Structure 1
Amino acid sequence: MTLLSLLCVLVLEQIKATPAAQVFAAFSAYARFLERRFNGGEMRHGLIAWIVGVGLPALMTFIVHYVLEAIHVVLAFGFDVLVLYFLLGFRQFSHYFTDIQLALRMGELEHARRLLAEWRGQTEERLGPAAISQLAIEQGILSSHRHVFAPLFWFLLFGPAGAVLYRLALTTAEAWRFNAGAPETEAPFGSFARRAFDALDWLPARMTAATFAIVGDFEDAIYCWRTQAAQWPDAAAGILLASGAGALGIRLGQPLSIEDEGMVRPGLGLGDDADVEHLQSAIGLVWRALVLCLLLLALLTLARWVG
């Protein structure tokens, strides 16, 4: 039933994509609502907000799923598909990737910049085609993990409650990271949310990176993972980007002419610098990784049936 739920969601997404902007806005508004209600400037307030805003919805999802399953398995199946349709969003990021690639190939540089800025949530002025391509590949690798592979991992473990837990943990970790009005200052309120997300993302990030290595250049991906990932400021992002760059045979990271010149961007990967010609290779890597996950799940399902 798990495999069938995933296949149905992927087919539904191809027919009618999830409204990515609305989904993102709803998650962000939810996180800000919790922050307004609970933020007293201390870590314990963030802990309470996380339990109420993340733990409780995940628990309720778990209970609803098993109540529906006790009534009829078809009801539980429909509920799983509905939850995954809004949480397991392959098209939530791939449309940005495709549109940026098309804009660059058509020579519409300003349009590509606007799309990248909307996707990453920050201004992307004065970027050339190569820099846009590199940032798009980096964002695509990270988004594929956070919107597809990591929610899929937790769904396989705990059903729809696992996917809800991960996506809400991601939302709160990002939304509560900085103090309001002082984006350079880490907020004590969000410290527990960040630690909780890091714990939830530890194993999925490494499994996603391993999957990229398997479906790409395995030797280079593992080499970059072992020797370069630790240089990146965010540990999980460094593992994903290093493995993805090595699997693709390209270079990511490195200083770019972007607004935040103080940002630490060590070089990742081997081979040529990423450019517009590598965009299709990157989306192909993600698709191959997804197909591999589905094949492994199908084999496990078949083995369970036979056993």
Structure 2
Amino acid sequence: MALKLLAVLLALLLARGVPTLLHLRSFGWLKPWLRATGATRTGIVLAVLLPAALAGVVSYVLLDRWLGVLWLAFALVTLLWTLGPRELEADLEELLNAAEGEMRATALQNFGDGSDAALAWSAPSVVGAGINAALRRRYAVLFWFFILGPGGALLYRLARLAAGAAGHAAGLPAAQQDFARRMAAALEWPAALLMVLAMALVSNFDAVLGSLRAWHNEPGRSWLGLDPDFLPAIAVAGVNADVEAGDGYAVDATDVAGELEDLAHLLNRVLLVWLVLAALLVLGGWMA
């Protein structure tokens, strides 16, 4: 766990401090690979699992070599490859600085990872898109990296790409695309729950958990559904609670720019909680 934490810290610093590394995040081989494995559910699972399993084997082989230095290098490269594809903070800054019109429309599309068609310039819309982008670009990758190592990070990224991001699944039948989306959502679900727990700890506890209960108690929704669709509503509740308590940058819940800054602040605190939790696990392992 100590090496995993070190790899995460280095990857986050490099991704933020050396933007030129973003060009490494290319998965151009995935679309033909999906076609090669067959346009079936089994083919999609194999297309995701085989590269992830290979990364897991390489990770296992390197773990005890050169005091873990080779494993750390491999893990760092894998994280830099699977995070993103763009840095959330950079897109957030672009959106805040974008003028109205085409420039803002482009910034909104980038901020929503291209998955939110005609994303509106309103606080609930951009906060919801922002939390989904954070989950898919960073937190789900980190969750599976901490659980399974480099193979886990690659597993999630390939599943998300197969679910339709960047058009990698465009040639698959509709039923297979739907299966890929459900597979990616199932992988995102535990990471989203951990994000909610962290948001409850660093924001308004009652507002966050109350919103989670209210969302799941609505007709047609279940606590057992492996889907992170609840996350935008929770994020909006947490940010609005900070605004109402006077702890945020915005003075009202309709101030889009202020709510975006509050969201960025909230996500930084969530990341800090995750890193502290990982550090505590490392300390616990050393003391055991």
- TM-score normalized with structure 1 length: 0.76
Asked if structure 2 preserves the Cα contact closer than 8 Å seen for 1:69 and 1:75, the reply is yes
Pairing 1:5-154 to 2, within 5 Å after superposition: 5-17=7-19, 20=22, 23=25, 26-27=26-27, 29-40=28-39, 45-51=40-46, 53-72=47-66, 73-89=68-84, 92-103=87-98, 107-120=99-112, 121=114, 124=118, 130-131=121-122, 133-154=123-144
Q: Which residue of 1 aligns with 2:244?
A: none
The correspondence of residues 139-288 of structure 1 with structure 2, limited to 5 A, is 139-175=129-165, 180=171, 187-228=174-215, 236-249=227-240, 272-273=253-254, 275-288=256-269
Report the CA distance shift for 1:242/1:118 in structure 2 as closer, same or farther (over 3 A).
closer
- In the alignment, the residues of structure 2 paired with residue 235 and residue 274 of structure 1 have an alpha-carbon distance, to the nearest angstrom, of 32
Q: Give the superposition deviation at 1:230.
A: 6.4
C-alpha distance in 2, partners of 1:48/1:180?
Answer: 13
Match of 1:249, SS state, is helix
C-alpha spacing 1:74/1:35, structure 2 compared with 1 (3 Å): closer
In the superposition, relative to structure 1, how do residues 8 and 20 fare at CA in structure 2: closer, same or farther (>3 Å)?
closer
Show CA shifts across 1:68-121 (max 9, x none). Answer: 123321111111111111223495222111110122xxx444322221124432
Question: Within 2, Cα distance between the matches of 1:123 and 1:22?
Answer: 27
Return the offset for 1:37: 3.0
Amino acid at match of 2:19: A
**1:95–1:135 CA distance, 2 compared to 1 (3 A):** farther
The 1:277/1:202 distance shift into structure 2, 3 A limit, reads closer
Change (3 A) 1:179 1:221: same
Query: In the TM superposition, what is the alpha-carbon distance from 1:50 to its structure 2 partner?
Result: 2.5
Over 3 Å counting, the alpha-carbon distance change for 1:216 and 1:162 in structure 2 is same
Equivalenced residue count is 269
Q: Could you tell me which amino acid in structure 1 is paired with residue 89 of structure 2?
A: S
Matched to 1:85, the amino acid is: L
Per-residue CA deviation, residues 47-79 of structure 1 (Å, 9 max, x unaligned), is: 22331x210111111111121123321111111
Change (3 A) 1:177 1:210: farther
The answer to which structure has the higher strand fraction is 1
SS in 2 for 1:70: coil
CA 1:197–1:94: 2 relative to 1, 3 Å:
same
Cα 1:18–1:248, aligned 2, differ >3 Å: closer, same or farther?
Answer: farther
Tell me by how many angstroms 1:178 deviates.
Answer: 7.7
Once the two structures are TM-superposed, the CA of residue 273 in structure 1 deviates from its matched residue by 3.5
For the aligned residues, what is the CA RMSD? Answer: 3.1
Once residues 230 and 35 of structure 2 are traced to their aligned partners in structure 1, the CA distance between those partners, rounded to angstroms, is 34
1:227 Cα deviation after fit = 0.8
Q: Are the counterparts in 1 of residues 24 and 81 from structure 2 also a CA contact under 8 Å? A: no
Give the unaligned 5+ runs of structure 1: 251-270
Q: 1:171 and 1:194 mapped to 2: Cα distance?
A: 9
After superposition, what is the alpha-carbon deviation per residue over 1:139-165, rounded to whole angstroms, capped at 9, x for unaligned?
210111122111111111111111111
Runs of 4+ aligned structure 1 residues displaced above 4 Å come to: 18-22, 175-181, 229-235
Q: Percent identity?
A: 27
Shift of 1:195: 3.4
> Cα gap change, 1:54/1:137 in structure 2, threshold over 3 Å: closer, same or farther?
same
Distance 1:207 1:299 in 2: 16
Contact 2:52 2:155 in 1 (8 A): yes
Which TM-score applies when normalising by structure 2? 0.81
State the secondary structure of the residue aligned to 2:51.
helix
